Structure formats: structure tokens, C-alpha cells
């Protein structure tokens, strides 16, 4: 790797250092700073251009580091299993989970075997981060003072929360400490949790005013999880969109010809295998068919920081079978966890799709079959649109229920290779002219042109429908002359399908109670909800009441819903009793009255955006300034999602996830796009770009995207090379 000199604090200093250091000057990427231009527009967004793709990678990760190095380093501490080196003993189990699957020695070997073009990009990535640190000595990394190119292989997929997060940390700890640890409410699926997902809409030319395909990019993640930027090169790269901090590819975005939007899928992309362990002497074996196979053992040393700031280690013996690492027990069985672990093909696929030009070339890249958890919505300038299922889909015997641990001793339960792409659910150029996904099942992805559920194995979907699915179908079916503006309007439609389904049942429960012993304290609340149009707004008092009621009912019925095998919202709609509905309303009335003095509280008084500092985990304060937000949780059917909750010491709700980077793109002779990033471009509270987009965000007012060189030049605030 290139060794940059700590004393080189400017481009001029670097060039002097190069002249004085022949070894550095001979490195093929040592002159990358001189071949990169970073142009910042009025929103602080970096438009990075390099002579080669590698130069563009060097510059874009340098620009990311300028905006929020802390989030880059933290992402790699998480993905390398080194978080405890910064955050102490509390992070040991998260690190152990990661290290059971991610072995630095294997990643280094994978790097050595990588194709030359990918190695060059990984080298440039490491050089860009190291150059940033060398030219910013005031920045003090918590742990990683030097990035190695192989580290890029630890974080190859841009979703928020990878497949590995399905392993419950409490049960991992219980297994490796050999003592019981109770599942948390969240791990049991009993605590209310804002869905982490996305919406994607693709509109064919037949349904647009201008005769061009349109794409709505609407991820629902942490507001501060991704950077917005553009990266281009003289080798044909020219992509714009959202980049997960520290990665070197546009995760959700577009180029001059095609756009791609990923939504978290409900596919079964991980499985658990119940292993029968047979001790023999000092060795452990597991049963597989008629044979006994040795359990694979490896020593994993987790470093962690003690309270006095020193580093120490804790060693574990990690166990695995051919199915995957052992992560917990169930009864007398050890549970092995199987997931996709293909870092090189995954990184290739993530990067190469940004250079595709149409559906055919995108599908060719997808043949890597290294996307395990993302559905994709596509649109291109040929007028093609598509919904695609994840491409890493193991073939399984559909006789078995893979939603639960399957018998690992039965060879029939094993994965049997991967599905061909042609055998997966998809909707390509549907006759109806639109395709969508809201993290719901694929069976409604394109209306009447959707893939048919009965044609596919059960494991193709475990999510089912959600309230955003019917909402998306309503808004997409209602317009056959979409423009960029009306597509944005559809994505911000305020109707709450979840409450449109649930509230009539509450009103009916109160009406039935009138014949017995009605509760007069609830009469005003029910009367208010009778006249509601089920739309969120800043001034809507019914939204406040419905949200408080919905959360109370959710908490009351979630255990029974899980026991019944139903989604909580389905259980609320079909099985919750009148008594449960009215008790939840009473709880909502009491909370609103106690916290805000009335049940008639405008939603904007409760639902707020606040960013006090650049901390990854923020502390919220009702006494500090905040911005009212009209959107509601996606759980209730809001397409424009705002996941807000109360925090210790607050009465107001503060959002940290939901609509984050949002973009609408039209693929005409020239690409036209509009976008907004909730968190702004910088993690530095002193930066003018720390909170300069929040008012636009709150209004759903997407700003123009500057994509072509002439537009970038016209709106440039600063243009410079890394190190200047």
C-alpha cells in the first residue's frame, strides 16, 4: 500500500514528498490526489472526478472522510468485528458474531485472489482514507489508524443491517458463555420497532407525460447512514446517489442511462440448521446422514477496551459445521446459521452495476448472484422498467419449513446450489406500466402483471403484505400521465392505509359498548376519529391520537400475534377484542392528556426532527430546537416514512430513520433528477451542511440534482484536489 507522509498536509506538500521519496513516487497510485477533482455544490455535495475509476474511488472516499470520518471508521469497526476496541466490553458479543463469519485472514486471501481491476479499486480506497488521515492530523481515529485494501471486503453490501443481524446476540452470548441469557423483547419480535426498509417505484414511458421512464428512490434508513455524492471518471464511470459511509460504490442511484433502487426483501435468505452433537473423547462431532463429521473449531480473540482505556483480550473457541457457525442452542441441539458469504463477488456486483447502461447489462452483472437481501427496482433510458428479486437464493426442498430450524442431520435439508435468475420472481416491462416494492411480498409488484405466488417455493417470501403495499398500488394505479412532480407527490401521499383498516374496528367497538357500559372518557376521542380522513399532516390531531392508540394496542397483542403466526397489524385488525381496543384507546388518551394537556394535539407538536450533534447515538431534548415533521411511521402505511419514538426524558417523539436520501429521476435524452437528504451532507455541527436540508425534507420539497458538468460548474462553491 502507498505510504503517505504525515507531514504532507497539502497537495503541494505531497508533491514535495514524492520528489524526496523515490519509493513513494514509484507507487502506481501515489499521484492519485493530482488526478482527482472534488467540486462541492451549494449543498456541500461532492462531485468527484478522476482520470480513472481508481482515481474516482480515491477521491470519493476522501470526500466522505471530509464529511464524516467517524461514521466510516465505525462501519468498519462493526464489519471487521473490532467495535469493542473502541466501545469496550459491551460490544464483545457483536464483535464475536461478526468474527464467526468474517475472518480477516480469509479476507486477505480473498483480496490476493481478486481480479486486478478490483484490487486496484480496493487499493485506491485504502489510499484515499490513509491520505485523508495523513493530511488531517487533527482527526484522531478511535481504532483504525491505517486502512488496508482487503478491509473493503468486510463491507460489500450497502443495506442498513445485514443478514448477520438476524443472529440474536443474547443467545450467542448464552451459548459461548454457557449460561442462560433471556431474549430481549426486540429479539422476540414483541417490541414495537420502526420497519427498516424502503419504497421503490418504476414507471414505464406508457404512463408518463413526457414518454420517458421514471424512478422513485426512497430508502427508509437512518437519516445519517449514507452520504450523497457523484463519482465519475474518464473510463466511463458516472454515477450519482447514496453511498453507505465508507463504501466505494453508489448503493442507490443512477447514471446517464439507468437507475437502481434497492428495497429490503422478505425472502428467506438465511437458514438455521439444528445439529446433533456427538462428543467422542475430547472431540466434538455432528451427525450428518449416516456419518459423523468433526465440528470445526477455531480460536477467536476479541480485543476490547477496558474502563481505564487499556486494551485486553478475551478468547473464544468458535464452532461451526458445513452449514455455518454455531450461534445458539435449542433444546439439546446446536443451531448453525447459514448465510451468503461471498465478499469478492458481492463487491464486484455492487460496483459493476453502477456502470451498467440498461436492463440487459444490469442483469448480466446480477449473474454474480451475490445480492442476498435486496429487491431491485430499475428504470432506464430505453424505457425499460423492472422489479427483480434478490439473486442469491439457495435451492431448498420445499417440504421443509425453513422459517424454523431444520434438521441438520438430514442431507435433504441442505442447500442445493443457487436458483437461476430466470426462476426467480420478477416483473420486467409489465403491461400495466409500473412496478414497485415496499418491503412487501413480490406478488403485487406490478398489479395484474405481478409474479404468481403459486408458481414459486414458499421460501421466496416470508414478509407478506404490509400497509404500504396497498397504498403504493392505489397511488400508482391512479395516474397514467406521471411527471417528476406527480411521482414525488405520489411518494408523499399522506393516506394511512393501516389506520384506514384499524380505526373502523375501534369505532365499532365503542358503538357496541354504548349498549352496555360505555366509557364517557373515550367518547370525545372516538368522535374525533369518526371524522378523520386517515391522512397525516402537521395540524392533524387525529394522527396523534391514532398513533398513540396504535402503539398501545400493538404492545398489548404482539405476544398473541406471534403465537398465532400472524403479523401484529393483521392480528390487530382481525383478532384484537373490543376490550383490548378500548383499553388501548384509554391508554392513549391518558398519555396525551398527561404529556400534552389534551387529546387534541397537532401531530407536528409531537413528531419532530432534531440533530444536536454529530454523535452516532444522539441524545434528544425537548428543551432544544427541533423541526415539526408531518409524516408518520411506515408501520401505519405512510409511504413517506418517519420513524419517531419517545426517548428517556422526552415527551415529544424524535425521528432517526425513515425517508433519508430520496430521489426522483427521469430518463429522457438527458437525465433530470431531484433529491433531498434528511441529514445534510456533513456530520460536523459547525458545517453549513449539517442541517441545511431539513426544511426541504419536512416539506417533501426535493431540490434539483446537478449531474452534468455544466450544471455542476454553474452551482459550484468550491473545486479542489484532495489535500488542498
Determine the 3-state secondary structure of 330 from DSSP: strand
Number of H helices, E strands in the chain: 20, 29
Confidence of residue 129 (pLDDT cuts 50, 70, 90): very high
End-to-end CA gap in the chain: 22
| pLDDT at position 513 | 86
What mean pLDDT do residues 189-210 have?
A: 84
| pLDDT at position 22 | 33
Determine the 3-state secondary structure of 677 from DSSP: strand
Query: What share of the chain has pLDDT > 90, as a percent?
Result: 86
What mean pLDDT do residues 31-41 have?
A: 88
| pLDDT at position 28 | 42
Torsion, CA 530, CA 536, CA 540, CA 544, rounded to 10: 80
pLDDT tens track for 572-619: 999 999 999 999 999 999 999 999 999 999 999 999 999 999 898 889
The pLDDT of residue 11 is above 50: no
| pLDDT at position 166 | 87
658: left (phi over 0), alpha (psi -120 to 50) or beta: left
406-409's contacts with Cβ under 8 Å and 24+ in sequence apart are: 406/271, 406/272, 406/273, 406/274, 407/273, 407/274, 408/273, 408/274, 408/275, 408/276, 408/286, 408/288, 408/321, 408/323, 408/333, 408/336, 409/275, 409/276, 409/286, 409/287, 409/288, 409/289
Query: If we measure between CA atoms, which residue out of 210, 217, 223, 209 comes closest to residue 240?
Result: 217
Average pLDDT, the chain: 92
Among the listed ranges 267-271, 313-317, 327-331, 512-516, which one has the minimum average pLDDT value? 512-516
pLDDT tens track for 371-392: 999 999 999 999 999 999 999 9
Q: From CA 57, how far away is CA 274, in angstroms rounded?
A: 43
| pLDDT at position 193 | 65
Residue located via cell numbers 493530482: 34
CA angle 490/496/502 to nearest 5° reads 155
Q: How far is CA 655 from CA 253, 398, 427, 681, 698, in A?
A: 24, 40, 34, 18, 12
| pLDDT at position 13 | 42
Cell of 314: 478475551
pTM of model > 0.85: yes
Query: If we measure between CA atoms, which residue out of 324, 308, 342 comes closest to residue 275?
Result: 324
What mean pLDDT do residues 436-460 have?
A: 97
Cell of 20: 524526496
291-294 sheet: strands from edge to edge? 277-280, 283-288, 291-294
Q: How far is CA 578 from the centre of its chain?
A: 37
Residue 210 DSSP symbol: T
Q: From CA 436, how far away is CA 214, in angstroms rounded?
A: 12
Q: From CA 121, how far away is CA 132, in angstroms rounded?
A: 16
What mean pLDDT do residues 65-75 have?
A: 97
User: For residues 221 and 12, which has the higher predicted lDDT (pLDDT)?
Assistant: 221
Query: If we measure between CA atoms, which residue out of 539, 547, 538, 532 comes closest to residue 591?
Result: 547
What mean pLDDT do residues 135-154 have?
A: 97
Give the CA radius of gyration of the chain.
26
Q: From CA 621, how far away is CA 648, in angstroms rounded?
A: 9
Query: If we measure between CA atoms, which residue out of 233, 230, 236 comes closest to residue 254?
Result: 230
| pLDDT at position 108 | 98
Cell of 522: 373515550
Among the listed ranges 18-22, 189-193, 329-333, which one has the minimum average pLDDT value? 18-22
Cell of 646: 419517545
pLDDT tens track for 286-320: 999 999 999 999 999 999 999 999 999 999 999 99
Q: Give the length of the chain.
A: 724
Residue 631 DSSP symbol: -
Question: In the beta sheet, which residues pair with residue 298?
Answer: 318
What mean pLDDT do residues 403-430 have?
A: 97
| pLDDT at position 516 | 62
| pLDDT at position 8 | 40
The pLDDT of residue 23 is above 60: no
What mean pLDDT do residues 74-97 have?
A: 96
| pLDDT at position 334 | 97
564 with 571: CB under 8 angstroms?
A: yes
What mean pLDDT do residues 412-427 have?
A: 97
Neighbours of 478 (CB within 10 A): 10
Q: How far is CA 26 from CA 21, 66, 303, 415, in A?
A: 9, 27, 36, 48
The pLDDT of residue 20 is above 50: no
Cell of 606: 409531537
> What is the DSSP track for 219-233?
EEEETTSEEEEEEEE
The pLDDT of residue 707 is above 60: yes
What kind and span of H or E run contains 569?
helix 568-574
Confidence of residue 189 (pLDDT cuts 50, 70, 90): low
Confidence of residue 197 (pLDDT cuts 50, 70, 90): confident
The pLDDT of residue 172 is above 80: yes
pLDDT tens track for 325-365: 999 999 999 999 999 999 999 999 999 999 999 999 999 99
Query: What share of the chain has pLDDT > 70, as a percent?
Result: 92
Confidence of residue 7 (pLDDT cuts 50, 70, 90): very low
Amino acid at each position: 500500500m502507498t505510504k503517505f507522509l504525515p507531514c504532507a498536509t497539502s497537495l503541494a506538500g505531497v508533491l514535495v514528498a514524492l520528489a524526496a521519496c523515490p519509493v513513494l513516487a514509484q507507487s502506481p497510485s501515489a499521484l492519485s490526489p493530482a488526478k482527482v477533482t472534488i467540486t462541492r455544490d451549494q449543498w456541500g455535495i461532492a462531485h468527484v472526478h478522476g482520470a480513472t475509476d481508481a482515481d474516482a474511488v480515491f477521491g470519493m472516499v476522501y470526500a466522505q472522510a471530509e464529511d464524516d470520518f467517524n461514521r466510516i471508521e465505525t462501519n468498519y469497526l462493526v464489519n471487521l468485528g473490532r467495535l469493542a476496541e473502541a466501545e469496550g466490553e459491551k460490544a464483545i458479543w457483536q464483535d464475536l458474531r461478526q468474527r464467526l463469519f468474517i475472518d480477516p485472514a480469509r479476507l486477505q486471501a480473498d483480496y490476493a485472489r481478486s481480479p486486478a481491476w478490483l484490487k486496484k479499486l480496493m487499493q485506491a480506497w485504502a489510499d484515499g482514507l490513509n491520505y485523508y488521515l495523513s493530511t488531517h492530523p487533527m482527526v484522531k481515529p478511535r481504532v483504525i489508524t491505517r486502512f488496508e485494501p482487503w478491509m473493503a471486503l468486510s463491507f460489500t453490501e450497502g443495506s442498513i443491517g445485514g443478514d448477520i443481524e438476524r443472529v440474536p446476540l443474547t443467545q450467542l452470548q448464552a451459548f459461548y458463555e454457557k449460561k442462560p441469557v433471556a431474549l430481549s423483547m426486540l429479539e422476540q419480535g414483541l417490541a414495537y420497532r420502526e420497519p427498516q426498509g424502503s419504497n421503490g417505484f418504476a414507471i414505464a414511458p406508457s404512463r408518463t407525460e413526457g414518454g420517458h421512464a421514471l424512478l422513485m428512490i426512497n430508502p427508509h434508513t437512518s437519516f445519517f447512514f449514507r452520504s450523497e455524492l457523484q463519482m465519475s471518471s474518464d473510463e466511463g464511470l458516472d454515477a450519482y446517489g447514496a453511498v453507505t459511509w465508507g463504501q466505494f460504490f453508489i448503493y442507490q442511484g443512477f447514471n446517464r442511462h439507468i437507475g437502481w433502487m434497492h428495497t429490503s426483501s422478505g425472502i428467506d435468505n438465511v437458514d438455521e440448521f439444528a445439529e446433533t452433537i456427538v462428543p467422542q473423547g475430547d472431540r466434538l462431532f455432528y451427525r450428518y446422514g449416516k456419518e459423523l463429521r468433526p465440528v470445526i473449531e477455531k480460536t477467536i480473540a476479541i480485543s476490547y477496551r477496558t474502563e481505564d482505556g487499556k486494551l485486553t483480550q478475551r478468547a473464544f473457541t468458535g464452532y461451526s459445521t458445513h452449514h455455518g457457525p454455531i450461534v445458539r442452542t435449542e433444546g439439546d441441539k446446536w443451531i448453525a446459521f447459514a448465510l451468503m458469504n461471498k465478499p469478492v463477488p458481492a463487491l464486484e456486483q455492487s460496483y459493476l452495476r453502477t456502470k451498467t447502461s440498461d436492463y440487459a447489462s444490469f442483469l448480466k452483472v446480477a449473474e454474480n448472484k451475490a445480492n442476498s437481501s435486496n429487491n431491485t427496482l430499475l428504470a432506464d433510458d430505453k424505457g425499460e422498467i423492472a422489479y427483480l428479486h434478490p439473486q442469491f437464493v439457495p435451492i431448498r426442498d420445499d417440504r421443509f419449513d425453513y422459517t424454523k430450524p431444520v434438521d441438520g442431520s438430514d442431507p435433504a435439508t441442505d442447500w442445493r446450489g443457487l436458483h437461476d435468475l430466470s426462476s426467480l420472481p420478477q416483473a420486467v416491462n409489465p403491461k400495466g406500466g409500473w412496478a414497485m416494492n415496499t418491503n412487501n411480498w413480490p406478488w403485487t409488484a406490478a398489479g395484474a402483471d405481478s409474479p404468481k405466488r403459486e408458481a414459486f417455493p414458499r421460501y421466496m417470501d416470508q414478509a407478506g403484505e404490509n400497509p404500504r403495499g396497498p397504498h403504493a398500488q392505489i397511488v400508482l394505479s391512479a395516474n397514467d400521465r406521471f411527471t417528476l412532480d406527480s411521482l414525488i407527490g405520489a411518494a408523499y401521499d399522506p393516506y394511512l392505509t393501516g389506520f384506514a383498516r384499524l380505526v373502523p374496528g375501534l369505532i365499532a367497538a365503542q358503538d357496541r359498548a354504548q349498549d352496555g357500559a360505555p366509557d364517557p372518557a373515550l367518547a370525545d376521542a372516538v368522535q374525533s376519529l369518526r371524522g378523520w380522513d386517515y391522512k397525516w399532516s402537521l395540524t392533524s390531531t387525529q394522527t396523534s391520537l391514532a398513533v398513540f392508540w396504535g402503539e398501545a394496542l400493538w404492545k398489548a397483542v404482539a405476544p398473541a400475534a406471534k403465537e398465532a403466526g400472524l403479523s401484529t397489524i393483521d392480528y390487530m385488525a382481525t383478532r384484537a377484542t373490543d376490550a383490548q381496543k378500548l383499553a388501548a384507546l384509554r391508554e392513549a388518551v391518558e398519555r396525551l392528556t398527561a404529556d400534552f394537556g389534551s387529546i387534541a394535539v397537532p401531530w407536528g407538536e409531537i413528531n419532530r426532527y432534531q440533530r444536536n450533534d454529530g454523535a452516532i447515538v444522539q441524545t434528544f431534548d425537548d428543551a432544544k430546537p427541533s423541526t415539526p415533521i408531518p409524516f408518520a411511521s411506515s408501520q401505519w402505511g405512510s409511504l413517506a416514512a418517519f420513524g419517531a419514538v419517545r426517548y428517556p426524558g422526552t415527551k415529544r417523539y424524535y425521528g432517526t430513520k425513515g425517508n433519508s436520501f430520496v430521489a426522483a429521476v427521469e430518463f429522457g435524452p438527458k437525465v433530470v433528477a431531484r433529491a433531498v437528504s434528511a441529514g445534510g451532507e456533513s456530520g460536523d455541527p459547525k458545517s453549513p451542511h449539517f442541517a441545511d436540508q431539513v426544511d426541504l425534507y419536512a416539506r417533501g420539497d426535493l431540490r434539483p440534482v446537478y449531474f452534468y458538468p455544466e450544471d455542476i460548474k454553474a452551482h459550484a462553491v468550491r473545486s479542489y484536489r484532495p489535500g488542498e
